[in-house]
A and B are shown apart, each in its own frame.
Chain A
Amino acid sequence: MLEIRSATKSFGDVLAVDQVSLRVEPGQMVGVIGRSGAGKSSLLRLVNRLVSATSGDILFEGRSISGLSGQDLRAWRARCAMIFQQFNLVNRLDVITNVLIGRIGTAGTLPVMFKHFSTHERGMAAAALDRLDLLPQALQRADTLSGGQQQRVAIARALIQNPKLILADEPIASLDPRNARLVMEALRTINKEDRMTVICNLHTLDAARAYCDRIVGMAQGRLVFDGAPEALTPAVIQEIYGGADDETVDESLTSTIVARHRVAGTAEPRVVQSAH
């Protein structure tokens, strides 16, 4: 069980995460929604310890992970696998080696320097790729794959980490609707079949509604909503997405509104079609 106790992260004067407290039970699939810059990404990075909290504490199965360092920190990172918006694969390595990177958290330094992995580890990587329908591409270079395939390689990498928890940071924001659906379905299957806890940052309400058991809304670094998808009323959505502009948010238009925010904010707009 993951427990975040009033975690705060500031970058200079900017409060990215502001006193967030959250408990996630094993086997849940949690969608974190909010506008760009609401602190969703920083929250996941705090859990994986890619960044350290300014104050507050994070506990996993009763043990604090805030003070971990060295080998313990690496082991913790291996236990909570991370999936990124831009996949973060090593382009010039082949797919199977990219998946095997999932094993380095517990591996010795010398074998890794020679990219040596045991037969058992290679078997795990091959099985994970097979599960995601990517076994035929195992020996291709990662950058020859499409975006959706690359994200599935990243999921395979996460799987062979034997994680207790998967953190997915905008896994579908760079994908077209069809690939986005494939990736979300893969995450949902892992959640259901392996009883894996998944925390997933999403821009779009419809994807969150379609795939998650529980939705957490963030705005300006604060937790503003925590509940079942059905509890997302127009007023709540207004609070999460409306922000300071006081523009009216019509739920039937969430996808387009999200797309418009992305035009104003960062990358290219993507509209994720809901799966039902």
Chain B
Amino acid sequence: MTLTITHGEIARLRRSNPEIFRRPLAERLREWGLWLGFAALLAFGLWWIDASPLRIWNGLSKLGFLVVLMIPPTDGGAFLGYCYAMLETLAMAFLGTLIAAVLAVPLGFLGAKNLVPNRLFHFGLRRVFDTFRGIDGLVWALIFVSAVGLGPFAGVLAIAVGDLMVFSKLFAEAIENVDRKPIEGVRAAGGSGIQTMRLGVFPQVFPVMMSHVLYFFESNVRSATILGIVGAGGIGLALSDRIRINNWDEAAFIIVMILVTVAVIDNLSRRIRMRIINADTGRK
């Protein structure tokens, strides 16, 4: 009852359908080429950064030593101080996000194709929005620390500048995606330009914007925790200090604090976002 097949039959099928048995040479070459290229680039990169199993091995023993030093994490009697630094971090993220969001609203309206239909202007503004994304938040922090001095104020500015252009782009896209029908409805009912914005565009765009803002607040809390490393205030300053003087158990304590705070903020913000989205669909 088994399905048997003779060699002759295989040979016949192979003659009539060779590509079932072996894919065409060109196809195989292309696939091999892609994989080899990838592997070669990876190998070259590993060589460049001087990665070697020996270094990993030596590093591992040092890393194990570090972990031993980290356990148990202790606050070194400065728990309240850390809490205040954490508050500073949260405040930096909050204010930075808020400033960026408020400033991005007019920019977003300017960048929306359906509201400002000049193509050249639109293209130019979008490029500007894109350009600023190329700089990491930490670099901005470094620059603002140099410009306005050490402290959380530099951190607020760094976050605000880093996010402003991304927000503007996202807001512009949200405005471009609005449904035309409510706008026409308000206009047909005799609404003025401002009223059309307020009643036709705003209710549609607001939940989307809020959800973006909250999402960025989450991610800014994460990035704000490290801005202190370059002197922009917050918990990062305490962390880099502890690492610099090799107080690894206290550094571990701060890392755990960061993990807990980020988890709590993520959870809260996700709940609020869900609420906004649900309220939005409920209204429709």
What residues of chain A have their CB less than 8 Å away from a CB belonging to chain B?
96, 119-120, 122-128, 130, 135, 138-139, 159-160, 162, 164, 194-196
Give the Cβ gap from B89 to chain A, nearest Cβ, in Å. Answer: 45
Which residues of the other chain, A, contact B1 by a CB distance below 8 angstroms? 164, 194-196
B58 interface residue (CB < 8 Å to A): no
Smallest CB gap from B3: residue in A: A162
**5 additional contacts (CB under 8 A) given A127-B3, A135-B17, A139-B19:** A124-B5, A126-B21, A138-B20, A160-B3, A196-B1
Q: A120-B10, A123-B10 are in contact. Are A128 and B20 (CB under 8 A)?
A: no
Q: Which 5 A-B pairs have the closest CB atoms?
A: A123-B10, A126-B13, A162-B2, A122-B21, A126-B20
The docked-state distance in angstroms from the alpha carbon of A126 to that of B14 is: 9
Contact B2 A123 (CB under 8 A): no
Give the Cβ gap from A60 to chain B, nearest Cβ, in Å. Answer: 14
B9 interface residue (CB < 8 Å to A): yes
Contact B3 A194 (CB under 8 A): yes
Which residues of the other chain, B, contact A125 by a CB distance below 8 angstroms? 20
The docked-state distance in angstroms from the alpha carbon of A126 to that of B20 is: 8
What residues of chain B have their CB less than 8 Å away from a CB belonging to chain A?
1-3, 5, 9-10, 13-14, 17, 19-21
| The one of B2, B13, B21 that contacts A127, using a Cβ cutoff of 8 Å | B13
Smallest CB gap from A194: residue in B: B1
Contact B10 A159 (CB under 8 A): no
The docked-state distance in angstroms from the alpha carbon of A102 to that of B13 is: 19
Contact A123 B3 (CB under 8 A): no
Q: Which of A96, A126, A160, A164 has the most CB of B within 10 A?
A: A126
Interface residue SS majority, chain A = helix
Smallest CB gap from B19: residue in A: A139
Which residues of the other chain, A, contact B2 by a CB distance below 8 angstroms? 162
| The one of B3, B10, B14, B20 that contacts A96, using a Cβ cutoff of 8 Å | B20
The docked-state distance in angstroms from the alpha carbon of A159 to that of B5 is: 12
Q: Offer 23 A-B interface pairs, CB within 8 angstroms, sorted by A.
A: A119-B10, A119-B14, A120-B5, A122-B20, A122-B21, A123-B5, A123-B10, A123-B14, A123-B21, A124-B5, A126-B21, A127-B3, A127-B9, A127-B13, A128-B3, A135-B17, A138-B20, A139-B19, A139-B20, A162-B3, A164-B1, A194-B1, A194-B3
The docked-state distance in angstroms from the alpha carbon of A194 to that of B2 is: 8
Contact B21 A130 (CB under 8 A): no
Give the Cβ gap from B10 to chain A, nearest Cβ, in Å. Answer: 4
Which residues of the other chain, A, contact B9 by a CB distance below 8 angstroms? 123, 127
| The one of B3, B14, B17 that contacts A138, using a Cβ cutoff of 8 Å | B17
Q: A120-B10, A123-B10, A123-B14 are in contact. Are A159 and B19 (CB under 8 A)?
A: no
Contact B5 A127 (CB under 8 A): yes
The docked-state distance in angstroms from the alpha carbon of A160 to that of B19 is: 19
The docked-state distance in angstroms from the alpha carbon of A123 to that of B5 is: 8
Which residues of the other chain, B, contact A123 by a CB distance below 8 angstroms? 5, 9-10, 13-14, 21
The docked-state distance in angstroms from the alpha carbon of A164 to that of B1 is: 7
Which residues of the other chain, B, contact A162 by a CB distance below 8 angstroms? 2-3
Which residues of the other chain, B, contact A124 by a CB distance below 8 angstroms? 3, 5
The docked-state distance in angstroms from the alpha carbon of A198 to that of B232 is: 74
Which residues of the other chain, B, contact A128 by a CB distance below 8 angstroms? 3
The docked-state distance in angstroms from the alpha carbon of A194 to that of B1 is: 6
The docked-state distance in angstroms from the alpha carbon of A7 to that of B280 is: 50
The docked-state distance in angstroms from the alpha carbon of A127 to that of B5 is: 8
Smallest CB gap from A130: residue in B: B13
The docked-state distance in angstroms from the alpha carbon of A159 to that of B2 is: 9
Give the Cβ gap from B24 to chain A, nearest Cβ, in Å. Answer: 10
Which residues of the other chain, A, contact B10 by a CB distance below 8 angstroms? 119-120, 123
Which residues of the other chain, B, contact A127 by a CB distance below 8 angstroms? 3, 5, 9, 13
Which residues of the other chain, A, contact B19 by a CB distance below 8 angstroms? 139
The docked-state distance in angstroms from the alpha carbon of A128 to that of B14 is: 14
Which residues of the other chain, B, contact A96 by a CB distance below 8 angstroms? 20
Give the Cβ gap from A95 to chain B, nearest Cβ, in Å. Answer: 10
The docked-state distance in angstroms from the alpha carbon of A125 to that of B21 is: 10
Which residues of the other chain, B, contact A138 by a CB distance below 8 angstroms? 17, 20
Smallest CB gap from B9: residue in A: A127
The docked-state distance in angstroms from the alpha carbon of A139 to that of B24 is: 12
Contact B17 A126 (CB under 8 A): yes
Which residues of the other chain, B, contact A130 by a CB distance below 8 angstroms? 13
Give the Cβ gap from A128 to chain B, nearest Cβ, in Å. Answer: 7
The docked-state distance in angstroms from the alpha carbon of A92 to that of B125 is: 40
Give the Cβ gap from B26 to chain A, nearest Cβ, in Å. Answer: 14
Q: A126-B13, A127-B13, A130-B13 are in contact. Are A119 and B3 (CB under 8 A)?
A: no
Q: Which of B9, B17, B20 has the most CB of A within 10 A?
A: B20
The docked-state distance in angstroms from the alpha carbon of A139 to that of B17 is: 10
The docked-state distance in angstroms from the alpha carbon of A195 to that of B2 is: 10
Give the Cβ gap from B20 to chain A, nearest Cβ, in Å. Answer: 5
Smallest CB gap from A119: residue in B: B21
Which residues of the other chain, A, contact B5 by a CB distance below 8 angstroms? 120, 123-124, 127
